[in-house]
Amino acid sequence: VTVRAPGKSLALHLAVLGMLFVIQFVLPAYHHTNVARILVLAAYALGYNVLLGYTGLMSLGHAMFFAAGMYGAGLPVYYLGLAGAGAMALGIIAGVALAFLFGLVALRTSGVSFLIVSLMVAQALYLASLHFNEITLGDQGFIVSLGLTEAAKYNAALALFAAALLACLALRLSPVGRVLVAIRENEERTRLLGYDSFRYRLLSLVVSGGIAAAAGAAYTLLFSYAGSTFASILFSIYPLLWTLLGGVGTLLGPLVGTGLMFYLVDYASSLTSAYLLLVGIALVVLVLWFPQGILGTMRARWLPWLP
Amino acid sequence: VVSAFVLALTALGLSLVFGVMRIVNVAHGEFFMLGAVLAWACASVVAHPLAGFAAALVVAPLLVGAVALAADRLILRRLDYHPEGTIVATIGLLYILQQAVLTLYGPDARPVASPFYFTVAFPWFGYSGYKLLVGLFSATLLAGAWLVLTRTRLGLYMRAAQQDLEMAQAFGVPARRVYAAVFALGAMLAALAGVLVVPIEQAHYLMGLDPLLLSFIVVVLGGLGNLRGTLLAAFLVGISDGVVSVFFSPTLAKIVATLLVAAVLVVKPSGLFAQERS
Give the DSSP per-residue string, chain B.
-HHHHHHHHHHHHHHHHHHHH----TTHHHHHHHHHHHHHHHHHHSSSHHHHHHHHHHHHHHHHHHHHHHHIIIIITTTTT-HHHHHHHHHHHHHHHHHHHHHHH-S--B----S---EEE-SS-EEEHHHHHHHHHHHHHHHHHHHHHHHSHHHHHHHHHHH-HHHHHHTT--HHHHHHHHHHHHHHHHHHHHHHHTTTS-B-TTTTHHHHHHHHHHHHHH-TT-HHHHHHHHHHHHH-HHHHHHHHS-HHHHHHHHHHHHHHHHH-TT-TT-----
Closest residue in chain B to residue A125, using alpha carbons only? B255
Interface of A with B (CB under 8 A): 58, 60, 105-106, 108-109, 111-113, 115-117, 119-121, 123-124, 127-128, 130-131, 233, 237, 240, 244, 272-277, 279-284, 286-288, 291
Q: What are the CA-CA distances from residue B267 to residues B220, B262, B263 (Å)?
A: 12, 9, 6
User: Which of A219-233, A240-254, B3-17, B183-197 bottoms out in mean pLDDT, i.e. has the lowest?
Assistant: B3-17
Closest residue in chain A to residue B268, using alpha carbons only? A109
Q: What are residue B46's phi and psi, to 5 degrees? A: -90, 125
pLDDT band per the 50, 70, 90 thresholds, residue A212: very high
By the CB < 8 Å criterion, does B106 face chain A?
no
Mutate to test the interface with B, among A48, A102, A120 (most CBs of B within 10 A): A120
Residues A58 and A49: their CA atoms lie apart, in Å, by 9
Report pLDDT for A1: 46
By the CB < 8 Å criterion, does B278 face chain A?
no
B194 has a pLDDT exceeding 50: yes
Contacts of B72 in chain A (CB under 8 A): none
Q: What is the pTM of this model?
A: 0.83
Report pLDDT for A96: 93
- If you write DSSP's letter for every residue of A232-269 in order, what string do you get? STHHHHHHHHHHHHH-TT-SSHHHHHHHHHHHHHHHHH
Rounded to a whole number, what is the distance in Å from the CA of A237 to chain B's nearest CA? Answer: 8
A117 has a pLDDT exceeding 80: yes
B209 or A40, which is more confident?
A40
Contacts of B254 in chain A (CB under 8 A): 124, 127
By the CB < 8 Å criterion, does B102 face chain A?
yes
A261 or B248, which is more confident?
A261
B225 has a pLDDT exceeding 60: no
Report pLDDT for B125: 56
Which residue in A56, A43, A297 sits closest to A190, CA to CA? A56
By the CB < 8 Å criterion, does B17 face chain A?
no
Nearest Cβ partner for A280 among B92, B209, B265: B92
B243 or B19, which is more confident?
B19
Q: Give bridge partners of residue B148 from the DSSP assignment.
A: none
User: Hey, which bits of chain A come out as E strands?
Assistant: 142-143, 225-226
Cα torsion B228, B230, B235, B239: sign: positive
Mean pLDDT of B140-150: 80
Report pLDDT for A213: 94
pLDDT band per the 50, 70, 90 thresholds, residue A300: confident
A151 has a pLDDT exceeding 80: yes
Percent of chain B topping pLDDT 90: 1
Mean pLDDT of B143-164: 80
Closest residue in chain B to residue A57, using alpha carbons only? B84
Residues A129 and A248: their CA atoms lie apart, in Å, by 30
Report pLDDT for B277: 43
Mean pLDDT of B245-251: 58
Q: How far apart are the first and last CA of chain B?
A: 32
Contacts of A273 in chain B (CB under 8 A): 102, 107
B residues 21-40 closer than 8 Å to A (CB): 24
pLDDT band per the 50, 70, 90 thresholds, residue A69: very high
Residues B183 and B173: their CA atoms lie apart, in Å, by 16
Model confidence pLDDT, tens digit, residues A2-39: 555 677 777 888 888 888 888 888 878 788 888 888 99
Model confidence pLDDT, tens digit, residues B76-134: 888 778 877 888 888 888 988 888 888 888 777 777 777 666 666 665 555 666 777 77
A207 has a pLDDT exceeding 80: yes
Report pLDDT for A47: 92
Question: Is the complex ipTM higher than 0.95?
Answer: no
Mutate to test the interface with A, among B72, B210, B258, B267 (most CBs of A within 10 A): B258
Residues B41 and A101: their CA atoms lie apart, in Å, by 48
- Whether A277 sits inside 8 A of B99 (CB atoms) is yes
Do the Cβ atoms of B13 and B188 come closer than 8 Å? yes
pLDDT band per the 50, 70, 90 thresholds, residue B247: low
Which residue in B148, B244, B160, B131 sits closest to B189, CA to CA? B148
Do the Cβ atoms of A250 and A181 come closer than 8 Å? no
What count of CB pairs under 8 Å joins A to B? 117
Model confidence pLDDT, tens digit, residues A179-192: 888 888 888 888 88
